[in-house]
A and B are shown apart, each in its own frame.
Chain A
């Protein structure tokens, strides 16, 4: 019944701690207070942005109650994915089992909400009480014309990364290439893997792709439609954005469908250009590559010109960077673009490779944040006294209490930071944060000491 970890190759390779990176794949210590989410959350992160399907949580109220529409993934079409659907497992279901309830819920959704497919998420409780979500989905599907797809991701399987990978597995097994779809490759087309359209990020990338003549088959899964995902195997190239969490998916797509993959990032001018050039190179079209080289130069110049005024005010500022995935290293060059120096950097949900890449990009004097608990985070703020902190929402209010300007770059943000346009937005928002007069009020002693001027 449980997802077989060994089969899925989910167990992390030995830690690279001997190579100088902290034990990133280490499990959270009980009681340490690092705010990590669970495998269920990880699966939701990957699949929930699929817009025209229903996402049904087979669990007690909290799993859905605390997570419906909490990610800021945006859709240009159907908003069905944001509806919070749950079987709300109660005590009686724990005793008598919840399969019947689940089936009824699936049928109700199919009948009344017209989804293209239904994803059914198992949770700790449904797994522990022995509900067979696979079987129930299969039975329900027999009565329906749409796919009912089980996602076996009880939270206790571990960290978010594991859930990410389970979701990748589900997409590969149940969605991509399924149904009556053509196998023909679409020339000059790509999938953006691990791009979730947080705050509309993807809309800052698509115009540049269009201008270059590159077709976006689908993102996996930002602003994705179910039918486009089914045809994801028709793309000529996979571009892995959120670094490693979906590596298993792109590897399998390479083997099964012959789609090569590259890694890239659309955060910052440098990485956006580099990724576009890499895409053009990998697509193997000489004309496209030539076009791209000219295009990125032009876009870089334009963008740098626009952000020059922000750079002027941000240059020389000292930052602490704490994030995960691709942003681990991509944010280093993004901040460098603005003349911001990184005093310390750290990561929680990144792979050793991501981490090493971050380390290589940072100034050798920059400190590595080893202790990722709240206590460790506060200690490094107190030691380094940064001008700003760039991190995810979890640390936002902690940072505010230390009177340090803070910018949320994870899913809590409301502004898109991807692509050249995103870089402008990022620079603008960062300047507004750092230059806000509120920090001045906070730092002034009150009541003022005698002889000190109260400006």
Chain B
């Protein structure tokens, strides 16, 4: 026993060493504790934001069970989705029968107004032509001829959950939206939130857009689906962007994309249809939200309402009240590109020092943008971006170059524990705390919420660890 303990101790010491870090970063063929999910999960989340839409995976049935449980554990909500349960037979003969029988059964059972069909790996490796299969399904009368079906190719061995979201969003526009016609252009601003697991964020966007008197459509909008009220009965389709508005999307007065890396192909598609489009960073932090407000004000042509100015003032007030708790503190962050851009921007505004930034699903444009953001502030000088690294790399970073706090999703709790620092949970999935997804991290409200989470976590730590002499009423 003693020997075993000694070995464990020695192993831990070695794992925490600079030497191991080097070996760890030389690792190429193995991913340890991954911090990304796969394309179809993102596609599913996107599909939940369309009214009366049934998400449908064309692939092995286990994939869907995993997506549903991952999403369900984060949102603490039931997640409706079906699979066509491809098996060994389909591996030999192709997935045509499964897809046709699958949509037939799903339509009969769940009566959707639109079906979002997206693939998992198996169908993609085999090269199933889902477009042709759906044509056949309609031809055979498995589903009505006029039932819209959006098709997304989303194998897990490519991209990540954010590209799957993007693919599905574009698929909805391709399948549902009618061509742009000059005489049919509507007066609405189509706001695309991007891969966002905070219904609180979506509600915040809608609240602010209403205050700003902007006619808008949030596309897609899963806030009422993943944060459905408890009214005593379960609704299979409790909300989402109305189908009529999806159909009319290309007649939008303009489009505003609130994330860059989760909507690249969708925004390109909208742009190619000659719809005025603008992409701004996820509105986290004062600067981020200012840009959102200005974009919306430009759209409406109206002055920024007093109510918004007051809100902004309250957020700035919260920043001044709490600056001393964050200024100069060192942070590690991991997560999706857009979220990281927003959080780093916010930390720089507060004088926090980002040190390690790990992004498993990084891309070259993101790397450039992040480096430019860091270069723009004196507080960004200590930071290094680690593209395409995992949480085991992050662990090495935390134990060899210590920081004061880790910011990321629940998967970060092991690394934070090993480094003996607090983890502030922001991102996806959050499976070990309640309600975080209900509070916005975007907008001026989000600024206040972020300060609350970060500063109070530091202060809780101080209180729990301070000796009696410095244990004080005021902090």
A128 to B83, CA, bound (A): 19
Q: Which of B66-74, B209-217, B258-266, B301-309 has 4 or more CB atoms under 8 Å from chain A?
A: B66-74
Using CB atoms, name the residue of chain A closest to B97.
A30
Q: CB of B62 within 8 A of chain A?
A: yes
- Of A31, A109, A123, A400, the most chain B CB neighbours within 10 A belong to A31
Inter-chain contact A61/B160, CB cutoff 8 Å: yes
Q: Please, how many angstroms separate the alpha-carbon atoms of A308 and B77 in the complex?
A: 34
Q: Say if the beta carbon of B435 comes within 8 Å of chain A.
A: no
Residues on the A chain within 8 Å of B222, using CB:
none
A35→B68 contact, CB < 8 A? yes
> What string of 1s and 0s marks CB contacts (under 8 Å) between B75-86 and chain A?
011101111111
Assess whether A400 is in contact with B230, with CB atoms less than 8 Å apart: yes
Within B411-469, the residues touching A (CB, 8 Å) are none
In angstroms, Cα B158 to Cα A373, docked, is: 31
Known: A125-B157, A155-B61, A156-B86. A401 touches B109 (CB 8 A): no
Task: Say whether, besides A156-B60, A156-B88, A375 and B34 are in contact (CB < 8 Å).
Answer: no
Chain B contacts for A38, CB-based, 8 A: 60-63, 65
Which residues A42-66 have CB closer than 8 A to chain B? 56, 59-66
Query: Which A-chain residue is minimally distant from B77 (CB atoms)?
Result: A397
Q: How far is the CA of A83 from the CA of B78 in the complex (A)?
A: 28
Interface check B91, CB cutoff 8 A: yes
In the complex the two chains form, what is the Cα distance from A108 to B61 in whole Å? 32
Size category of the A interface is 35 or more
Q: Is B41 an interface residue (CB 8 A)?
A: yes
In the assembled complex, B101 has its CB within 8 A of some CB on chain A: yes
Q: How many angstroms between the C-alpha atoms of A65 and B39 in the bound complex?
A: 12
Taking a contact as CB atoms under 8 Å apart, the answer to whether A85 and B158 are in contact is: no
Q: Which of A76-116 contact B (CB under 8 A)?
A: 83-91, 93-94, 100-102, 104-105, 108-109, 112, 114
**Contact call A62/B156, Cβ cutoff below 8 A:** yes
* Set A31, A39, A158: member contacting B101, Cβ < 8 A: A31
- Whether the Cβ atoms of A129 and B125 lie closer than 8 Å is yes
Query: For A63, what are the chain B residues with a Cβ–Cβ distance below 8 Å?
Result: 156
A102 to B78, CA, bound (A): 36
Contacts A85-B32, A91-B158, A157-B87: A398 and B82 contacting too (C-beta < 8 A)?
A: no
Report yes or no: B156 in contact with A402, Cβ–Cβ below 8 A: no
Q: Which residues of B contact A403 (CB under 8 A)?
A: 230, 232
- Bound CA span A387–B340, Å: 45
Measured between beta carbons, the chain A residues less than 8 angstroms from B56 are 31
Contact (Cβ within 8 A) B233 A83? no
A13 within 8 A of B: no
Chain B residue numbers with a CB within 8 Å of A87 are 29-31
Chain A residues, Cβ within 8 Å of B29: 87, 100-102, 104-105, 108
**With contact pairs A2-B88, A60-B121, A124-B122 given, residues A68 and B105 touching in the complex (Cβ less than 8 Å):** no
Contact indicator B37/A65 (Cβ below 8 Å): yes
Q: Is A67 an interface residue (CB 8 A)?
A: yes
Bound-state Cα–Cα, A240 to B109, Å: 38
Query: Does A260 sit within 8 A of B, measured CB to CB?
Result: no
**Smallest distance from the beta carbon of B165 to chain A beta carbons, Å?**
14
Cβ of A442 under 8 Å from chain B: yes
Bound CA span A375–B67, Å? 19
**Residue B347 interfacial (CB < 8 Å):** no
Cβ proximity bits B201-239 to A, threshold 8 Å, 1 near / 0 not: 000000000000000000000000000101011111000
The CA of A83 and the CA of B228, in the complex, are separated in Å by 34
Q: Does B342 contact A (CB under 8 A)?
A: no
Report A148 CB to chain B, min CB distance, Å: 14
Contact B157 A33 (CB under 8 A): no
B31-A66 in contact (CB<8A): no
User: CA A90 – CA B56 in complex, angstroms?
Assistant: 23
**Across-interface contacts of B86 in A (CB, < 8 A):** 156
Q: Please, how many angstroms separate the alpha-carbon atoms of A15 and B156 in the complex? A: 35
Closest 4 CB pairs of A and B: A38-B62, A30-B102, A31-B102, A62-B38
Q: Can you identify 10 A-B contacts, CB atoms within 8 angstroms? A: A30-B85, A60-B38, A60-B156, A62-B66, A64-B31, A67-B66, A155-B62, A158-B87, A158-B88, A442-B230
